[in-house]
Amino acid sequence: MNVLYVEDNKINAMVMDKMLSKSNSNVIIAENGSQALKVVKEKTLDLILVDINLGLNQMDGCELLQRFRKLDILNSIPVFAVTAYAMPGDEQRFIDLGFDKYFSKPVNFDKLLAVISAIGVS
């Protein structure tokens, strides 16, 4: 499974890479939205995980999702929000914006892997 993880924090990216690699996933890290848009045009992906806050003066994960959805090739690829936003109502807000699933940080990897398995991404 090819997974794109869009994350500006190198430690978070490293942890996700290590955890998903245990499930035989090939994890591609993009540090910002511009890198992510380049990757989606060059690679075949099965899943995209997007942090919402991608740094100062960068497009955020919500804007990036909208740009992804404009690319026809990505309409069938699940996009999950992976974020530190964890207040009541945040999950529904991100689902309403178009993310397929929502995971608050720190990510429960057992839950993430179970959701990936349940939707048939492998």
Percent of the chain as helix, strand, coil, to the nearest 5: 40, 20, 40
List of residues 6+ apart from 23 with CB closer than 8 A: 1, 113, 116
Inform me whether the pLDDT recorded for 121 exceeds 80.
no
Our measurement of the distance from residue 116's CA atom to the centroid of its chain's CA atoms, rounded to an integer in Å, reads 12
Write out pLDDT tens, residues 22-46: 888 899 999 999 999 999 999 999 9
Whether this prediction's pTM lies above 0.85 is answered by: yes
Q: Are strands 79-83 and 2-6 parallel, antiparallel or unpaired?
A: unpaired
Strands (E) across the chain are located at 2-6, 26-30, 47-50, 79-83, 101-104
Inform me whether the pLDDT recorded for 120 exceeds 70.
no
Count: domains in the chain: 1
Return the CATH number at 39: 3.40.50.2300
The DSSP call for residue 26 is E
State which residues form the domain around 82. 2-118
Report the distance separating Cα 30 and Cα 13, nearest Å: 9
Report the distance separating Cα 53 and Cα 43, nearest Å: 24
